[in-house]
Amino acid sequence: MGSIRKELAEQNVVPRKKWGQHFLEDRNVLKKVLKCAEIAEEDVVLEVGPGLGVMTQALAQEAGKVIAVEIDARLVEILRSKLAGFPNVEIIRSDILRFNLRQYLGSEKRPVKVVANLPYQISTPLLFRFIDSRDLYSRLILMLQREVAERMIASPGKKTYGPLSVLVQSVADISICFIVKPSAFFPPPDVESAVIDLSWKERPMIFTEEEEGFRSVVKGCLGYRRKTLANALKHSGLSLPETLDERLEEIGIDPRRRPETLSVQEFVALASMLRH
C-alpha cells in the first residue's frame, strides 16, 4: 500500500494533526481487520474517517451497504470520485461526534456493523456515543490506540482499570484482535494501535434507565481510587445513606477496600444500593 503516500502527494493532501489523520499503508493489517469484521453481503457497515477510501472499497466489495462519515472536505471530494463505481457506498461529510446517528441509521432494517480506524483524540467520546445508542449496532470492529484498548479490557486492581473498563464491560464483551505497529501508517503515530472486537452482552449488567446513575457512582469512586471506598464515596458528591459502612457490608463489600479493587459486578451492586 505504498501508493498511499504517492496518492496524497498527487492530490496535494497533507495529513492534518488536528483530525488525527494517519493513513493505513499496510495491506496485511487491512486484511486482518476485514477478517475480524466477518462482513456478510447483507451487512450495513458504518465506517468513520475513511481517509482515501482503501478500507471503504474493500468493505463495499463484501457488504450490502457502506456508510462512510468523513470530516475533511478535501477527502470527501476524493472519496466520491474514487468510489463512484460503488452504488452501495454513501459518503457523508460530517463530524461524527455531532452527526445524528440515530436519525440516519434508525431506518435500517437490521443493526449496523461499525468498522473503523478511529482518530485517537475522539476514540473514547465516540465509543460512549456508540454505547449510548447501542441498539443501532450489532458489533464494533475498531482500531484505536493500544492504551485505550487495554484500559477497556483491564481487570480490577490493575493500573489501567478505571471508569472506561467498568462502563464498557458492564454492557459489552470485548477482546483485542491484534496489535498494530506505528510503521503501518503514514504518518506513523507516536503509539501502537490495537484492533478490538466489541459486541453487546445478551443480558447487560445494568438497565438503560440506570446507566446515568451507574456512571456517576463509578466515576465518583474511581476519581479517588487510592482512598478507601467509604472515603471515596464521601468525597464523590453522591447522595449517601447515613449508615454507609453498614450498608456496604450488607452487600458484601468491605468499606475499607480501595475502589480500584471492585469488580464490575460489585460496582453494579453498589450503584443499586445507593439507588434504593
pLDDT at 191: 95
Contacts of 153 (CB under 8 A, 6+ apart): 165, 169, 174, 175, 176
Distances in whole angstroms, Cα of residue 73 to Cα of each of 51, 58, 79, 195 = 11, 22, 10, 27
What pLDDT tens digit does each residue of the chain (276 aa) get?
Answer: 458 888 888 887 788 888 888 889 999 999 999 999 999 999 999 999 999 999 999 999 999 999 999 999 999 999 999 999 999 999 999 999 999 999 989 889 889 999 999 988 899 999 999 999 999 999 999 999 999 999 999 999 999 999 999 999 999 999 999 999 999 999 999 999 999 999 999 998 988 888 999 999 999 999 998 899 999 999 999 999 999 999 999 999 999 999 999 999 999 999 999 998
Domains and CATH numbers, the chain: 3-200 (3.40.50.150), 208-275 (1.10.8.100)
Q: Are the C-beta atoms of residues 238 and 259 closer than 8 Å to each other?
A: no
pLDDT at 1: 47
Q: Closest Cα partner for 54 from 99, 23, 14?
A: 23
Dihedrals phi, psi of 204, to nearest 5 degrees: -60, 155
Distances in whole angstroms, Cα of residue 258 to Cα of each of 117, 219, 244 = 36, 14, 15
The C-alpha atoms of residue 21 and residue 33 are separated, in whole angstroms, by 18
Alpha-helical runs (H) found in 223-263: 229-235, 244-250
Measured at the alpha carbon of residue 94, what is the angle toward residues 90 and 96, in degrees to the nearest 5? 100
| C-alpha dihedral sign at 69, 72, 76, 78 | negative
Q: Are the C-beta atoms of residues 196 and 152 closer than 8 Å to each other?
A: yes
Cell numbers for 121, please give them.
483524540
pLDDT at 227: 94
Q: pTM (2 decimals)?
A: 0.91
Q: Are the C-beta atoms of residues 26 and 32 closer than 8 Å to each other?
A: no
Residue 237 φ/ψ region, left for φ over 0, alpha for ψ in the -120 to 50 degree band, beta for the rest: left
Cell numbers for 180, please give them.
498494530
